[in-house]
Structure 1
Amino acid sequence: MSVQKKLSLHEDWVVVILGGLIVLLSVAGLLLAVPSFGWENAEELTSKVLSSKNLQIIGIQFLFVGIIAALGAVLTGRSLLGTLKTFPIVYILTIIALILTGNSQVKALNLEAVIFSLAIGLLIGNFLKLPVWFKEALSTELFVKIGLVLLGTGVIFSDILKAGGLGLMQALIVVLSVWYFAFWLCKKMKIDSELTMMISSAVSICGVSAAIATSGAIKGDSKKLSYVISMVLITAIPMMIFMPYIAHYFNFPQQVTGAWLGGSIDTTGAVVASGSLVGEEALKISTIVKFSQNVLLGIAAFAISVYWTYTNHLAGQDKAEKPTLKVIWERFPKFVIGFVGASLLFSFFLSSETIVEVKGSLKNLQGLWFALAFTSIGLETNFKDLFGKNSKRPLYAFLIAQGFNMIITLIIAFLLFG
């Protein structure tokens, strides 16, 4: 146990290391063959997807991502044994989701693999009693962030510079207005101070990460944090699925849709999944806008630390983290460095021939990591958490604030990106 603690690194740094390792191995020539999941009937399913050659490719892919996941467990100080036990199950469920998505009729509905992986995880997580150790061993955030680092290889840096300024402007307006509205609403509904701070940050900034950062800044109750995270994950599901269809129905431009998704949906992985339902341009803009909000997380944590400390919310007990500039760096989402680094590498340092050669393999791995993450989200999310006797007021406050967030973000998206 002491050895694991010595090896423990911050998860965001581990993501940068592992994402960078995958990119460098690909550039060096270690390119994984892309499995085939497309099928129209039972005959094609057997002859193509379940053929010995394709199953071999899927097996080699399993070994590669399994080693990366195991390295992630070791470097973050998590249980290696737990990862070795859970990862094969998560991988198999994810492959089933990818096979379902590969059906021609499903493709015609424009449904992405992450939706199926999420649905499979939710069905198992809510109808079967999973052991506590199993849920604790899931590496959801690690998988999402590795996928995001790999996403950087497909985003040209000039696009970040172009949309990043607008994204940051939108993020500032949305975060300030939505945070204040959610804070005011929670106070009106007489929700306790800890939940008020966590809900306000989760709705306005970046969901799970913001809730965790806020809880750390105020030394919040872990049970309340778990509840807020459950609300974020569960409300992100319908938003992720239906917002792209709403945008399509009203014929919103892709840039506006991307800015709306990136500014409204609270989890980064859900933003990516939702953006991918719309198109490449919407995916890029939604990711950049979400990253712009993520960048504000450190500043927000610092401000919350100052507020919490000097207003004595802890009834005279100074348990809150002292506000220093160090807090900003500690709360800064460092996986963004990996995303930007990958984008810089592919924008300025690699030849077009190399990019073409590695693009397919990296895009396949990127999609796989996101699908693995959403299988994990489904497995660890329990709908019952939202329906406890003491849970209704915070849930109502969260939903109302989220509705306000969607409206104000859409207006700003049209003004800046329309």
Structure 2
Amino acid sequence: MTTKNKLFILHEDWAVVALGALVIAVSLFFYVVPVPHYKWSSTEELLTTVFNGANVLTLVIQLLFVLVVGSLGALLTGKSLRNFVIGFPAIYVLTVFALVLAGNTFVKSLNLEAVIFSLVIGLVIGNLFKLPQWFRDSLSTELFVKIGLVLLGTTVIFSDILKAGSLGLIQALVVVLSVWYFAFWLCKRLKVDDELTMMISSAVSICGVSAAIATSGAIKGDPKKLSYVISMVLITAIPMMIFMPYIAAYFSFPQQVTGAWLGGSIDTTGAVVASGTLVGEEALKISTIVKFSQNVLLGIAAFAISIYWSYNKTAKGADAVEKPTLKVIWERFPKFVLAFIGASVLFSFFLSPETAAGVKDSLKNMQNAWFTLAFTSIGLETNFKDLFKNENKKPLYAFLIAQLFNVIVTLVIAWLLFGR
């Protein structure tokens, strides 16, 4: 028997706003979570620095803190609290293992970050072993990523948002419009059905999983088709997340251009964060802001798709779709972006430099912990077989070709806007 909260359930984005604010408030007014040490270069240093008593105690304190925050998230979003409390320690242990691997000085010299190790570890376990459904249901990937993004706001100066955000919005408009229509045209040429066409076009051009879900909601799409599109998004995001930063490094792209390219090309917000982390702090900030600029367009896109589907694609015998209103735009808008901006405003204008410096390292560590936890979860819940269950491979071909078009177009636009 699982314990679920049914009396007070928040949308995940609002839950993230509350949880992100809670983490920041606790750090500012009550308790600064200590930062664990992960750096080591030899077995002796690993034992004496990483696995000594004091550092292990710090890891336990961090576990308890994120467990409490994650448990509140489970309660607020209506998930099973019991399943989360039982399953989360295993996710945390795998994540710490990834952080320890990434802390090796030789690994750091190869520019391999913890998120890559956590993702690979999760993928190996998730694809080689049959995990119980209760454990898979307890994974909270989006929640982890979004909490990390809210904390990222504490390190982003608001002037950077205004500068990169205006350029990011221009890039987002051009990319979303051009890539969406190309994907739509391509799906029609390949005779992909209407529901998949809408989901694929939105997923490739806007923001991956969130866009696919929003589009499916706008057209009341088939859940199985939505699952298929999400599988394509997640699986293709993995090689893009890993290889695009190295392509940028090989050709010596500036960090701003690389960040804009990653933020505009990679479909999932978490993968954008991971790839930006591989490049550097500036690339991480720009990639996140550019991705946020695309996320802002999600509500408008869902509104436009609702209009299109309502007046042109009402299938025979289908239920009436939700009428497009301003309420639809607000419902599709990613609320956690407001918390990211709020955190940036707080640390840019309202806190003294001394106060901000006192919590900077702790919040940065927590941000990294949430991101790494998210990618352990992504690996655990991603099954490569899901991509090939659909006998008709045309949607896959359409998605891959549209994604390649997206990568090329976004790079060109990123150079024009951020390469000056």
Q: TM-score under structure 1 normalisation?
A: 0.98
Offset, 1:389 = 4.8
Counterpart of 1:403 in structure 2 is: 404
Counterpart of 2:218 in structure 1 is: 217
2:13 counterpart of 1:19: no
Q: Letter of the aligned partner of 2:152 in structure 1? A: L
Counterpart of 1:153 in structure 2 is: 154
* Secondary structure of 1:235 counterpart: helix
Offset, 1:149 = 0.2
Offset, 1:52 = 1.3
Offset, 1:314 = 2.2
* Contact kept? 1:386, 1:392, Cα under 8 Å: no
* Contact kept? 2:3, 2:80, Cα under 8 Å: no
2:134 counterpart of 1:137: no
Counterpart of 1:240 in structure 2 is: 241
* Contact kept? 1:114, 1:273, Cα under 8 Å: yes
Q: Letter of the aligned partner of 1:179 in structure 2? A: W
For 2:356 and 2:349, locate their aligned partners in 1 and report how far apart those are by CA, in whole Å: 11
* Contact kept? 2:4, 2:79, Cα under 8 Å: no
1:154-173 residue pairs with structure 2 within 5 A? 154-173=155-174
Partner deviation per Cα, 1:325-371 (whole Å, 9 max, x = no partner): 11000000000000000000000000000111100000000000000
Partner deviation per Cα, 1:199-226 (whole Å, 9 max, x = no partner): 1100000001101111111111111111
Q: Letter of the aligned partner of 1:73 in structure 2? A: A
Which runs of no fewer than 5 residues in structure 1 stay unpaired?
none
Counterpart of 1:387 in structure 2 is: 388
Report the number of matched residues.
Answer: 418
Q: Letter of the aligned partner of 2:182 in structure 1? A: F
For 2:313 and 2:293, locate their aligned partners in 1 and report how far apart those are by CA, in whole Å: 31
Counterpart of 1:84 in structure 2 is: 85
Q: Letter of the aligned partner of 1:362 in structure 2? A: L
* Contact kept? 1:262, 1:290, Cα under 8 Å: yes
For 1:79 and 1:2, locate their aligned partners in 2 and report how far apart those are by CA, in whole Å: 5
Counterpart of 2:416 in structure 1 is: 415
For 1:315 and 1:323, locate their aligned partners in 2 and report how far apart those are by CA, in whole Å: 20
Counterpart of 1:112 in structure 2 is: 113
Q: Mark the CA change 1:64 to 1:191 in structure 2 (over 3 Å): closer, same or farther.
A: same
Counterpart of 2:323 in structure 1 is: 322
Q: Letter of the aligned partner of 1:35 in structure 2? A: P
For 1:391 and 1:121, locate their aligned partners in 2 and report how far apart those are by CA, in whole Å: 28
Offset, 1:5 = 2.4
Counterpart of 1:303 in structure 2 is: 304
Q: Letter of the aligned partner of 1:304 in structure 2? A: I
For 2:394 and 2:104, locate their aligned partners in 1 and report how far apart those are by CA, in whole Å: 42
Partner deviation per Cα, 1:49-88 (whole Å, 9 max, x = no partner): 1111111100010000000000000011111111112111
Q: Letter of the aligned partner of 1:206 in structure 2? A: C
Partner deviation per Cα, 1:79-125 (whole Å, 9 max, x = no partner): 11111121111101101111111111111100010000000000000
* Secondary structure of 1:67 counterpart: helix
Counterpart of 2:72 in structure 1 is: 71
* Secondary structure of 2:7 counterpart: helix
1:175-190 residue pairs with structure 2 within 5 A? 175-190=176-191
What percent identity do the matched residue pairs reach? Answer: 72
For 2:20 and 2:39, locate their aligned partners in 1 and report how far apart those are by CA, in whole Å: 27
Question: Is the deviation greater in 295-304 or in 41-50?
Answer: 41-50
For 2:117 and 2:390, locate their aligned partners in 1 and report how far apart those are by CA, in whole Å: 31
For 1:329 and 1:48, locate their aligned partners in 2 and report how far apart those are by CA, in whole Å: 49
Counterpart of 2:352 in structure 1 is: 351
RMSD after superposition: 1.2
Question: Is the deviation greater in 116-125 or in 37-46?
Answer: 37-46
* Secondary structure of 1:169 counterpart: helix
Offset, 1:4 = 2.0
Which runs of no fewer than 5 residues in structure 2 stay unpaired?
none
Q: Letter of the aligned partner of 1:13 in structure 2? A: W
* Contact kept? 1:38, 1:103, Cα under 8 Å: yes
For 1:317 and 1:115, locate their aligned partners in 2 and report how far apart those are by CA, in whole Å: 43
1:265-344 residue pairs with structure 2 within 5 A? 265-344=266-345
For 2:64 and 2:266, locate their aligned partners in 1 and report how far apart those are by CA, in whole Å: 33
Counterpart of 1:198 in structure 2 is: 199
Partner deviation per Cα, 1:228-253 (whole Å, 9 max, x = no partner): 11111111111111111111111111
Partner deviation per Cα, 1:163-184 (whole Å, 9 max, x = no partner): 1111000000000000000011
For 2:110 and 2:279, locate their aligned partners in 1 and report how far apart those are by CA, in whole Å: 12
* Contact kept? 2:4, 2:75, Cα under 8 Å: no
Q: Letter of the aligned partner of 1:97 in structure 2? A: A
Counterpart of 1:96 in structure 2 is: 97
Q: Mark the CA change 1:302 to 1:105 in structure 2 (over 3 Å): closer, same or farther.
A: same
Counterpart of 2:51 in structure 1 is: 50
Offset, 1:388 = 2.2
For 1:330 and 1:386, locate their aligned partners in 2 and report how far apart those are by CA, in whole Å: 29
Partner deviation per Cα, 1:31-54 (whole Å, 9 max, x = no partner): 111111111111111111111111
Offset, 1:20 = 0.5
Offset, 1:322 = 1.3
Q: Letter of the aligned partner of 1:314 in structure 2? A: A
Q: TM-score under structure 2 normalisation?
A: 0.98
For 2:128 and 2:3, locate their aligned partners in 1 and report how far apart those are by CA, in whole Å: 37
Q: Letter of the aligned partner of 1:103 in structure 2? A: N
For 1:230 and 1:190, locate their aligned partners in 2 and report how far apart those are by CA, in whole Å: 20
* Secondary structure of 1:370 counterpart: helix
Offset, 1:391 = 4.7
Question: Is the deviation greater in 391-400 or in 231-240?
Answer: 391-400
